Structure 1
Amino acid sequence: MTRRHVLTGAGSGIGLALAHRLAGRGDELVLLARSEARAAELARTFPQAQLLVADLADPGTLNGVGRLVDGPVDSVVHVAGVVDLAPVERLRLAEWEEQLTVNLTAPAVLTREMLPHVRAGRGTVVFVNSSAGLVAHADWSAYAASKSGLRSLADALRAEEAEHGVRVSTVYPSRTATPMQEKVHGQEGRDYDASRWLSPEAVADTILHVVDLPAGATIPDVTLRPVAPRPGS
């Protein structure tokens, strides 16, 4: 039986790696795109996918997207996120609000929209979080707050949906070699070396493991780190 997955962040990094893995094995994809232009780009890469246009930075655009999906869904995987580093004394309101909106509010709204489909498929909701959701460091207050909130969202959803057979998992990757990580290095004033970090494919394969667990089993939380310690990480 063909499986169906709803993904955010499929345009790059972990989301792109995961979308390729799922499409490569013949699963159906429902991909979120922030604009018609972005949807056209994703359609060229994943021509069989269903594209839903909604901007995570404007969660109101997610209202009603659940009605655009027909039938059961095996997973909803929240990958998309934004980050802007700044100490609290220089943190701009717009940066704070954007990170909370994209990283926390939008996943909550999208999950609500897709829950009837996930319940019908007795599927899994996966929140791709961050090590920053477990420990907050200097200059990471807004991002860490959004990811800590995402952890709480997952915990509450897990308790609420167990009776419906819905599994909820949070994946906490440490630094991963993605365009977002390259941006972070620029903000930190550090040279970027992708070989030092987790690969997007390693994180994608972990998500697949979580999604593919046998019925009756679940992994609520999983943390990923590179095998070797990374100096200065």
Structure 2
Amino acid sequence: MSDPRPVALVTGASGGMGREIARELSRTHRIVAVGRDAARLEAVAADTGAETWRLDVSDAEGLAEHVAGLDRLDVLVHAAAIARTLGVAAARAADWAEHFAVNVTAPAELTRLALPLLRAAQGTVVFIGSGASTRPVPGSAVYAATKHALRAVADVLRIDEEPHRLRVATVAPGQTDTAMLRAMVPAEQYAPERYIRPESVAAAVRFVVDAPADAHITDLAVRPRQEIARI
């Protein structure tokens, strides 16, 4: 007998935040986990029973081929992202192009491909934004710009898809204890206890997904308990 549970697709599932989101949603959903690291995806599958897609989210043809094989999609969570410490003085055109391809174009394209299924389910799309879109830190021009743009994608999608009763949310975590953050902060300054746990971001996504049918949670900021002004 086929699994009757709703389906949630999570990108960036081989990373810390995406993995925890997949794990949290697997309590109630069938999971499709998308990521680039085969070993980590296998671990996610072992924990959640997820179907795994090993591909880069900027591979539009690969995404289209995989989405075509789905027969249902209720929740789409865009957790995949890249971030490097780059200010305007240091960033080259290739840096801007790479960050926008992964952080903005890829989620927009995947959403476009999945819209027929999401509309049919009156589903939920969750964009994992960033506190950097409202509280940027030094050297974050490229990353912050992409998260500003991603917020715009979410806001316009919400307006455009209102007739289809699609729910669209931006969950914007502040500094979270992930490999991405560790790569951006000098080791001697890194204090995991000061940062948000990936599990807490997953709980915020769960809150959005479980909103009652009459409610639409559109924007959710998740900040460290003790505010960190600068990394």
TM-score past 0.5 threshold? yes
Q: Report the RMSD for the aligned CA atoms in angstroms.
A: 1.9
* Corresponding residue number in structure 2 for 1:204: 202
2:189 to 165, 188, 191: 191
Distance in structure 1 (CA, Å) of the matches to 2:15 and 2:110: 20
Q: Of residues 12, 16, 20 in structure 2, which corresponds to 1:13?
A: 16
Distance 1:160 1:232, change over 3 A: closer
SS in 2 for 1:31: strand
User: Counterpart of 1:46 in structure 2: which amino acid?
Assistant: A
Where in structure 1 are there 5+ consecutive unaligned residues? none
**Partner in structure 1 of residue 30 of structure 2:** 28
SS at match of 2:52: strand
1:175 Cα offset (Å): 0.3
Residues 39, 67 of structure 1: alpha-carbon distance in 2 compared, 3 angstrom cutoff = farther
Q: Which position in structure 1 is the counterpart of 2:104?
A: 104
Kindly provide the amino acid, as one letter, of the partner of residue 42 in structure 1. L
Paired residue type of 1:212: D
- Distance (Å, rounded) in 2 between the aligned partners of 1:207 and 1:9: 14
* Structure 1 residue 21: Cα displacement: 1.4
1:217 to 215, 218, 223: 215
TM-superposed deviation, 1:60: 4.1
Residues 87 and 142 in structure 2, CA contact (< 8 A), matched pair in contact too: no
The answer for the alignment partner of 1:148 in structure 2 is 148
- Determine the C-alpha separation between the residues in 2 that align with 1:120 and 1:40: 33
| Residue 54 (str. 1) matches residue 62 (str. 2) | no
Determine the C-alpha separation between the residues in 1 that align with 2:99 and 2:143.
6
Conservation of the 8 A alpha-carbon contact between 2:23 and 2:44: no
The Cα offsets for residues 28-56 of structure 1, whole Å up to 9 and x where unpaired, read as: 0011133xxx3464134314322234312
In 1: Cα distance, 2:188 partner to 2:218 partner: 34
Unaligned runs of 5+ in 2: none
Alignment of 1:34-183 (within 5 A): 34=36, 38-39=37-38, 41-47=40-46, 48-71=49-72, 73-183=73-183
Identity of aligned pairs, percent? 37
- What are the superposed Cα offsets for residues 152-198 of structure 1, whole Å, 9 maximum, x if unpaired? 00011000111101100001111001110101103xx7521111011
Q: How many residues align?
A: 226
1:135-154: CA deviation from partner (whole Å, max 9, x where unpaired) = 43431111111111100000
Structure 2: distance between partners of 1:229 and 1:33 = 31
Structure 1 runs of 4+ with >4 Å offset: none
| TM-score, length-scaled by structure 1 | 0.89
TM-score (norm 2): 0.90
